[in-house]
Chain A
Amino acid sequence: MNPEELLYCETHEWVSITDEGGSKTATVGISKFAVEQLTDLVFMELPEPGAEVAAGDEFGEVESVKAVSSLYAPVAGKILEVNHDLPNNLETLSEDPYDKGWIIRLAVSDDSALSTLLDYQAYQKQCAAEE
């Protein structure tokens, strides 16, 4: 996925929306900047498919040698798929955060939160301010 075409949360999750015949699917991951800030990753805790999340809900955790960080859902929906390979291959998140490093896929139930997300430019600005 091209990072310039994604939407971002202030909490560093990215989301990509695909629309197939009116039903929207969201793929969610965390940005390269976030992975770099976390430094060496140690553990990851992921949900099971089937769970319902609201926008802003915590759906998992990633732990680095520095800290434990929560993962927040950018939009509301039902979890369709979870990238269960990630916890045992955390290097995937560092090497390929926008493709192989995807974390969950959601069947979007309410996309109103999308309008509050940042585009690539705005997100880059936020990262520069945080660095």
Chain B
Amino acid sequence: MRWQTALPTRNNLRQSMRNRLATQPLFDLSKPGRRGTRLPKCDVPVQDLEQLLPAWAQATEPPGLPEVTEPEVVRHFTNLSTLNMSVDTHFYPLGSCTMKYNPKRNERLAGTPGIVNLHPYQPEDTIQGMLQLLYELQEMLAEISGLPAVSLQPAAGAHGELTALMVAGAHFRESGELRTKVLTPDSSHGTNPASARMAGFESVMIKSSESGFVDMDDLRSKLDEQVAVFMITNPNTLGIFDHQVSEISDLVHKSGGLIYLDGANMNAILGVTRPGDFGADMMHFNPHKTFSGPHGGGGPGAGPICVNEALGAYLPVPVVASDGEHYRLVYDRPRSIGQVRSFFGNVGVLVRAYCYILSHGPDGLRRVSENAVLNANYLLSRVRHILPVPHGSRCMHEFVATASDLKKKSGVTAMDLGKRLLDYGFHAPTVYFPLTVPECLMIEPTETESKETLDAFAEALFRITEEPAELLHETPHSTYTSRPDEVTAARKPQLKWSGPSGTDKKDH
């Protein structure tokens, strides 16, 4: 095992400060009979298990749990948590993900006992406060999007896409139109074509022009009465606002289709423009991006959608309604597509979004976007002297640089640069997305970073491009694992502990 051999020499001193014993799998630390807690002797009459549970519900042997003490468990998870990078520990310019700092205020408020102790089966009269919060959030999202009908139910952005496409499907079924195609630009997030197919549509790709916008000729050639929805991300994944969006909306509307806006990049336009005003009929928000919800961890997430008035009738049930005094959940909506998530969605994340929006207010939200765009443009103005930025000298909230020339010259790839940045104490940008730019690094600083941080990042990037290729191929040096074998990880994933002899301990 590695911890036994890691003597603190000069080179691995940094590494050796980690408690390697604690980052072993808990199963490897297990010793028979060890316990975190001991229960007092039972002082009530003991019941026979057979009388309490039917035979089918009784296990024949105890579950294979590790036997460890409380400090072992605490050290295990605390040490594991230090092996990661996070927005609380590092600058995290992961393009398209809007890794802004999450204000702790949101966490505190979302953890208020009056909120966390609610049960969705409570009578409506006893959850008026929560319903008011959700109702007001619906109103806020309607105002920000310019689309009046809102569902808070979807559990993630992609789930919002799917839900909205099902809403579109219901609309076309009711109007008796057979529309089978969904158009997505080639720079779109992969979830767009995936959601289209999941919702039963055929997905058709639209090319981008040289300048990174939707290729209007290609759009015109693929637009017919079969097209149900055009899904557009604006600003797009190259970090540029497609100024043709009104023209695109007109074209699609004229042929009877709908416009869906992928709200992934809303952080660039809050309070500046509204999707409903530039032609969108439907959209989703990513509260974890735009409204500082927690990222990752597998959820629970939220992907509220907003649609125009006509499509509102098809939104999932329930929606929160109000007569001005009383708030209620409305289930009786005969044209609704039904329920897409239990109860009213993942309320905890929505509470954080509500807190974020309220604490900024309308002017504050606009400043969020202005500063996100300002920060991205400042960083762009520095990075473009280090790596080419193919789509211009101005951007919205993010921009895409390319290591293509560097790769041709010295064999150094975008991946090498990203990995080396970890050694310098920065999370890597998104690499190899969007697919339309080779060897790309997609950089999104967000509004929560200082000029000093942006300068330090640019300087690190510059220093890295001056480093020898052989060194860069081997990086990172300072992280717990260096370069995982991605092919084996994808083809033969080991997703659970399979016993002391079944695990390969080499790569812990």
User: A-side interface residues toward B, CB under 8 Å?
Assistant: 37, 40-43, 63, 65-68, 130-131
Q: Which residues of B contact A40 (CB under 8 A)?
A: 486-487
Does A43 lie within 8 Å of B490, measured CB to CB?
Answer: yes
B484, closest chain A residue (CB): A65
Does A67 lie within 8 Å of B432, measured CB to CB?
Answer: yes
Does A66 lie within 8 Å of B432, measured CB to CB?
Answer: yes
Does A131 lie within 8 Å of B438, measured CB to CB?
Answer: yes
- In Å, the complex CA distance between A130 and B439 comes to 10
Q: Closest CB-CB distance, A12 to chain B, in whole Å?
A: 12
Q: Which residues of A contact B10 (CB under 8 A)?
A: none
Q: Closest CB-CB distance, B135 to chain A, in whole Å?
A: 40
Q: Closest CB-CB distance, A17 to chain B, in whole Å?
A: 26
Q: Which residues of A contact B190 (CB under 8 A)?
A: 67-68
Q: Closest CB-CB distance, B252 to chain A, in whole Å?
A: 22
Q: Which residues of A contact B490 (CB under 8 A)?
A: 42-43, 63, 65
Q: Closest CB-CB distance, A103 to chain B, in whole Å?
A: 19
User: B-side interface residues toward A, CB under 8 Å?
Assistant: 190, 404, 408, 432-433, 435, 438, 486-487, 490-491
Q: Which residues of B contact A63 (CB under 8 A)?
A: 490
Does A37 lie within 8 Å of B433, measured CB to CB?
Answer: no
Does A67 lie within 8 Å of B404, measured CB to CB?
Answer: no
Q: Closest CB-CB distance, A40 to chain B, in whole Å?
A: 5
Interface SS, B side: helix
- In Å, the complex CA distance between A41 and B491 comes to 10
Q: 9 tightest A-B contacts by CB?
A: A65-B486, A42-B490, A66-B432, A40-B487, A67-B435, A42-B487, A42-B491, A131-B438, A40-B486
Q: Which residues of B contact A42 (CB under 8 A)?
A: 486-487, 490-491
A88, closest chain B residue (CB): B491
Q: Which residues of A contact B486 (CB under 8 A)?
A: 40, 42, 65
Q: Which residues of B contact A131 (CB under 8 A)?
A: 404, 408, 438
B407, closest chain A residue (CB): A131
Q: Which residues of B contact A37 (CB under 8 A)?
A: 438
Does A67 lie within 8 Å of B438, measured CB to CB?
Answer: no
- In Å, the complex CA distance between A68 and B190 comes to 9
A65, closest chain B residue (CB): B486
What would 8 more interface pairs be, CB under 8 Å, given A40-B487, A43-B490, A65-B490? A37-B438, A42-B486, A42-B487, A42-B491, A63-B490, A66-B432, A67-B432, A131-B404
Q: Which residues of A contact B438 (CB under 8 A)?
A: 37, 130-131
- In Å, the complex CA distance between A67 and B433 comes to 9
- In Å, the complex CA distance between A74 and B190 comes to 23
- In Å, the complex CA distance between A43 and B492 comes to 11
- In Å, the complex CA distance between A130 and B404 comes to 10
